[in-house]
Each structure stands twice: as C-alpha cells, then as structure tokens.
Structure 1
Amino acid sequence: MPSKASKTWESPAHKRTVYGVLAIVAVAILFDGYDLVIYGAVLPNLLADPTQIGQLSPAVAGTLGSWAMIGVTIGALSAGAIGDRLGRRRVFLTAIAWFSLGMALTALSTSVLAFGVLRFFTGLGVGIIVATGGAIVAEFAPAGRRNFFNAIAYSGVPAGGVMASLAALALEDAIGWRGLFMIGATPILFLLPAAWFLLPESPKWLVATGRSMRAQELCRKFGLPESQFLTKPVSREAAAKAHVTPSSPTGKSGFAAIFSRVYLPGTLLIGTMSFMGLLSTYGLNTWLPVIMENNGASAAHSMYTLLFLNGGAVVGGLFASMIADRVGAKAVITVTFTLAAISLMILPFTNNVYLTYIPIVIAGVGVL
C-alpha cells in the first residue's frame, strides 16, 4: 500500500522543486514583511529627529506609511494581469529586484517628499511579490498541503516583522535607520540569483499560452507531474460535449469571474475581510510602538509588542493552517478573525504593559 508521502510526491526531484519554490517565495515575502514593518520600528526616531528627512508630524508620518500601502495595492492588483501576459517567473524576478532597489534608494533619501515617493515605488514591488507569490505557491503545492504551504509563505510577512523588530533593537544605534533599510535591499544580492536557478516558469501558464512542448520540458527537468501541470482548463463548451465539470462555473476568468453573480458574495466578503486584516496588520505594525511609548512604555517594550504581534502570527498562523487542511479554511478563518476582533477591542482597556501582550498575540494570529 503506497504511503502518504508517495502520494504527495511523484519523485525526489518533484519534492526538491516544490520546496525550492516555497523557499524562494517565503524568503521574498519575509523581506516584504521586513520592508513594511521596519518603517514602524524606526518611526519614533524619525518623529524625534527632524535632521533625518525633515520635520514629521504624526499626520505626515501616517501619510508616508499610506504611500507604501497605496503602492502595495496597485502592485497587487496589477500583478495578475502582468503575470498572465509575461509569465509569473519573469514578473517575480523583476519584483525582487524592484523592491530591493526601492529599499536601497529609500535609505539614501534626505527629504520627506523623496522618502514618500520611494516608499510608493517600493510598495509596487512588494505588492507584486505578495500577490504573485501566493499564486505560485498555490500552483506548485500538492493538493493536500496548499493551506499549509500558503501559510508558510505568508508567515513571511509577520516573520519579517519579527526580523525588523530584532534588527531595530540590536542594530539601530549602530547603523541607524538608513542601515536598517539597506538590510531590506540585500535580496538583490542573494535571493535574485537563487530565484533565477530554482524558480521554474509555470507550466500551466506555458500550456495556456500555447507552449506545451516547453511546459513538458520543464516538467521533465524539474520532476513535476504532468498530470498536475499539463492539464488544460476545460471550457464550458467542451465540458458540455464531454459531460464534465468546467474549470469555472461562469466560464470566465480573472476579474470577470470573481465579480460575476456566482462569486460576487464571496468576493465581497473575502475582499472586506482581507481589507480589514491588512488594515489591522499594517496599522498595528506602523503605529503600535508609537502608541505604546505615548502610553508610558519604554522603547524596548514598544519593540517587544511587534515581536509578540508578529511572532503570534507566525506560530498561530502555521498551526491554524494545518487545522484548515483537515477541516476546511472557512471555520478556521471565522474563529481566528472573530478572536482578533475581540482582542483589538480589549487592547485599549488593558493598562498593564505585560497583559497587553496577550491580546496582541491573538490579534496577530487572526489578522494574518
């Protein structure tokens, strides 16, 4: 009787390829998380020292944080269309170089305007990474592990937050905020070359664009099962003739499908939850240290709140995804999201610094 592992992996090469893809995407998203959280970690010093990029008020600081998120939004929304045209591998490699360059240039900025423009520029690359990375992992992951593999990849966002918090605690006095931003630019030195060799183009995309022979070559080279990667989507017309279920109940793809009558309720609900989750994630990562300091916490305790927020998201998110692979994602998302909402309501009424860590951890799990 075949073991569970043999059902999951067709060959050792298949396993190596998928884990290589997962590692590349996870590290890219790790640095995305670092990029988005490091701003919150250095914000108290930027607010206190106008000689860095200029005088910052809390309102201007919030606007600067928003510019990065506007870039993320535009990058994420455009990633699918660009990837469908150019291929996910090419887009992903470009995005790694893009956000690395953006972080390096941001570290050299000397004015509020330049800092804001470069945060927007960097956000474009971050958004493309976040959107394209999830699609890549979902495509290459074996059927029974997609929730878990996706959670591993996206735990890079809070793990990057942990890395940013630790780096700020350990290194900010020595290398300053500019050095911390330069750390965020290092993927161009090691991750981009690794992705060039370890990340194959999507065989499904090649098939969809009429390059089936190239797709077969990639499957043989990387040990990918042809039954998973070389199956063409079934159209509604072909499905009617063959008496099989089409790939989409609407017969459409992309935005036309998700905004069709069949998927519209789910699109609105998931979109709203994603919006609230991201608002909570990046809002907390940007402002939590400042809020804690304004309420009497030390600078170290303020940084520790980011550690607990993002550490809880990593550990709790991975555990929740393992349950989701067994019982379904909907129940897990509903429970953790509800607990996060309750925790965020409790947080303003928790006066003890140490007790605040409990709702912060629960919130970190739910919003991810």
Structure 2
Amino acid sequence: MMNTLTDRNAVARRRTPLNRSQIAGFWGAWAGWTLDGMDSFIYALVLTPALTELLPRSGFAATPSNVGLAGSILFALFLVGWGLSFIWGPLADRFGRTKVLAATIFTFAIFTGLAATSTNVWQLGIYRFIAGVGIGGEWALAGTYVAEAWPEDRRKMGAGYLQTGYYAGFFLAAALNYTIGVHFGWRAMFLTGAVPVVVAILILLRVKEPEKWQKADAKTVRVKPLREILGAAYRRRTWVACILLTIAIIGLWAGAVYEPSAVIQLATRAGMSKSDSIRTASLATGLLSIGTILGCLALPPMAERIGRKKTLAVYFVGMAISIAASFGWAFYLPNGLAPFIAWLFVLGFFGGNFALFSLWLPEQFETRVRATAFAFCTSFGRFVGAGVNFLLGAAVLHMQTLGVPVALTALAFVLGLFVIPFAPETKGETLPQ
C-alpha cells in the first residue's frame, strides 16, 4: 500500500510544470468560460419575470403558456446565433487563438448588457441572438487553446478543469439572482453580464498564442479548413462528433433552460411566495452546478481508464435516466419539489459529459484545422437544438405542461448510444500536430 502511494506521488511530481504564460492563459480561458456560463444561464433565470413584463408591451398576454412559448422561441434564436458562431473557428486558425477568444467574450458581454435596455420581446430577441454568436465561439476557442498550450501529460485534466468554469458560471448566475435578481430585477441581472469585457481586455494584453499554433501557422500553406474537415480525411469523425454534440446539447439545454421555471412552478404549488420561489430556483441551480462541476472533474480520469467512448456512454445513460426521472416523474408528484431538486444534482453530474468533448475533439484534428473543427461541430448541434426548442415550445403550449416534453429529450441519449461506436477512440494518443 505504501509503495503504491509512493509511486503515485512520484508520477504527480514528474508532471511537466506549467509556466507563467500557460497559467495565465488557462485562467483567462477559464474566466471567459465561467462568465460565458453565467451569461447563458442569466436568461434561463430571468425568463419568467422578463417575459411577464415585456409580453404585454409587445401586444401579448403574459399567460404561462405564452411565457413558455416566447421563452422557447427566444432561446431558439439564441441557439441560432450560437450556431453561427462557427465563423470564429476559421478566424482562430488564421489569426490566432487568444485574439479571437477575446473578440468572442467582448461580443457576448456587450450585447448581454444591452439586453437590460429592452422595451419589448423583439429587442430582447435581437440582443440575445447577437450575444449567442459571441457565446458560441468561446467554448471552441478556450478548449482549443488549453489543449494546445498545456503539456501533453496535463492537457486531459486541463479539459476537465476548463469545463468546470461554465458551470461555475451557472452557480455565479444563481448567486447573483439570489441577491441582485430578487432585489433589483431582471434588468440588473443582464447588466452584470457586461462584466466580461474586462476579461477580454486582459486576455488581449497578457496571454500569448500557443507554441503549437505558432509553429503550425509558420509552416502551413493556407487551406480552406472548413472544406478540409468535411473532406475524405476527416468527414466521418466530423459528422459523428456533430451528432454526439447535438445530442448532448438537446438534452442538457432542455433540462437546464426549463429547470428554473420547473422549480418555480413546483415551489408555487407548494405554497411559497414569488420571492421565495425565485430563491428556491436559485438554490436548485446552484446544486445543479455543483453536481456538474463534480461530473467534469470525474470525467478525465475515467476517460483515461476506460476510454473516451465508454465514458461518454456512461454519461449518456446517466443523462437519459436523470432527465426522465426529474421531468417525467418527480415533476408530477404531489410534493415533488424535493425529489425534483435531488434528481437535478444527478442530472448535473452527468451533464459533465461536455468535458469529454473539450478533451476528445482536439485529439481528433490537426492544429491547422482544430479550431474550425471544434467550432463547426459545436455550432451544428446548436442549430439542431434551436429546432428542437421550437418543437419543445409548441409541445409545452399544446400539452399545457413542460414536464413531459422535456422528459422526452431523454430519448436522444438512447439514440446516442448507437452512434458512439462510430467515433474514433483516442485513448493513449498524443495531440496531433
């Protein structure tokens, strides 16, 4: 036993130390991803109060069904903007990771702040659409940067660390809603989303480009990266990754976006006041975030032990069960608030499946097209996710409930289990140059 511990400590000591640029770059990417998550989830948290105020000003009654439908349409527009974020990938392959990363953060921060000035749902939709374009690019560029900048023996765990930032952003949004949102309203929440501008400036000033990109850029003959990832060499892995990411986005976002509204409905049904219901939704979101952070940290060691494909299968099964149990079962119990929140923690843990893509996607593509491939695969899923949200909104309106329609998204993860075998297994391989 003592020898085993000694061997583990020796391995830990042999890990390549990070230099100052790698540390600063990671924290810049992590902070951007955290504020990205905060920005994304602000909308979910303020959905009900914002639309309750803006729908009458836009000529519509603020009924629960109209709020649900309008919320789905606006979120679908946000996802379309998110999908258009594939434009950042080729720019990053051509001009560098850090410059374009800063541009994505600047874009989503400015237009999230502008959402606070909305006087009707149309303005809110436009601001969220453009913010989505910025938000969508951050993950691809942050994931690409960490994979290329960190040493080979540390980048896998770095992917897990990076992904925790997005859900730390969920937690931060919940904390802000618990304090600022309750006392100052939804407009103040959107204003807090302008803070990431500072992070964008710091990234531009302090973070250097990864050496891998610099070397590849110096010797690469200019090609069209989008054409290359859809060509014969990469076509299969590109489309398989697109399908798997689509499934992850459909399932997690359906659950995450409707989670606050579901908790508010359950809390109101349990006799809580409006302010107490909002606080409960914030606490539930915090619990979901903690579960997801733990899921992100548990994933890289599992992927190294049993492989990328088996790990994703485990997480997909967990997502299918937890979505069905929370929205399809607990939501309809007479006293379902506590069981629903408990299942949210499980849903959050397996929602950490996104950390696998931060680890796995960079391993499947060479440096000259890596950012383009990452951005394209993530953007494809968001376009499909936008369509699914339109369908979800229509189903919520038709069925007059949000539980069953969201629960049905669990079927997407079952489908994903049949797609995973077609993906490449990259366990034990180094990042391709």
TM-score, normalising length: structure 1: 0.80
Three-state SS of the structure 2 residue aligned to 1:143 is coil
The residue aligned with 1:305 is 284
Kindly provide the CA deviation profile for residues 156-207 of structure 1, in whole angstroms up to 9, marking residues without a partner as x.
Answer: 2221111111211122132221111111111213x12321333102333333
Range 146-155 or range 286-295, more displaced: 286-295
Q: Residues of 1 paired with 2:57 and 2:185: CA distance?
A: 13
1:26 lines up with 2:30 in the alignment: yes
Structure 2 unpaired stretches of 5+: 1-6, 353-433
Once the 2 structures are TM-superposed, how far is the Cα of residue 272 of structure 1 from its aligned partner?
1.9
Q: Residues of 2 paired with 1:361 and 1:270: CA distance?
A: 26
Kindly provide the CA deviation profile for residues 100-152 of structure 1, in whole angstroms up to 9, marking residues without a partner as x.
Answer: 11111111221211111110111111111111111001101221222221121
1:344 lines up with 2:328 in the alignment: no
1:209 lines up with 2:217 in the alignment: yes
Once the 2 structures are TM-superposed, how far is the Cα of residue 98 of structure 1 from its aligned partner?
1.3
Task: Confirm or deny: 8 A CA contact 1:106 1:115 kept in the other structure.
Answer: yes
Distance 1:179 1:326, change over 3 A: same
Q: Residues of 2 paired with 1:70 and 1:79: CA distance?
A: 15
Once the 2 structures are TM-superposed, how far is the Cα of residue 258 of structure 1 from its aligned partner?
4.2
Provide the identity percentage. 23
The residue aligned with 1:64 is 74
Written as runs of structure 1 = structure 2, the 5 A alignment for 1:1-368 is 4=11, 7-9=14-16, 14-50=18-54, 54=58, 55=60, 57=66, 58-75=68-85, 77-189=86-198, 191-210=199-218, 254-260=225-231, 263-295=234-266, 296=269, 298=272, 299=277, 300-347=279-326, 348-350=328-330, 351=333, 352-368=336-352
Kindly provide the CA deviation profile for residues 284-332 of structure 1, in whole angstroms up to 9, marking residues without a partner as x.
Answer: 2221121233342541333333222222111121122233234432222
Task: Confirm or deny: 8 A CA contact 1:148 1:325 kept in the other structure.
Answer: no
Three-state SS of the structure 1 residue aligned to 2:25 is helix
Distance 1:259 1:365, change over 3 A: farther
Range 45-54 or range 285-294, more displaced: 45-54
Q: How many residues end up aligned between the 2 structures? A: 325
Distance 1:357 1:253, change over 3 A: farther
Kindly provide the CA deviation profile for residues 62-114 of structure 1, in whole angstroms up to 9, marking residues without a partner as x.
Answer: 11111211111111x22211112222221112122111111111112212111
Once the 2 structures are TM-superposed, how far is the Cα of residue 358 of structure 1 from its aligned partner?
3.2
Three-state SS of the structure 1 residue aligned to 2:209 is coil
Task: Confirm or deny: 8 A CA contact 1:144 1:325 kept in the other structure.
Answer: no
Distance 1:120 1:51, change over 3 A: closer
Once the 2 structures are TM-superposed, how far is the Cα of residue 52 of structure 1 from its aligned partner?
8.7
Kindly indicate whether structure 1 or structure 2 has the higher relative contact order, using CA contacts under 8 Å at least 6 residues apart: 2
Q: Residues of 2 paired with 1:287 and 1:156: CA distance?
A: 21
Three-state SS of the structure 2 residue aligned to 1:144 is coil
Kindly provide the CA deviation profile for residues 220-258 of structure 1, in whole angstroms up to 9, marking residues without a partner as x.
Answer: xxxxxxxxxxxx68x9xxxxxxxxxxxxxxxx9844454
Distance 1:166 1:53, change over 3 A: farther
Q: Residues of 2 paired with 1:294 and 1:280: CA distance?
A: 21
Aligned CA-pair RMSD = 2.7
Task: Confirm or deny: 8 A CA contact 2:55 2:120 kept in the other structure.
Answer: no
TM-score, normalising length: structure 2: 0.69
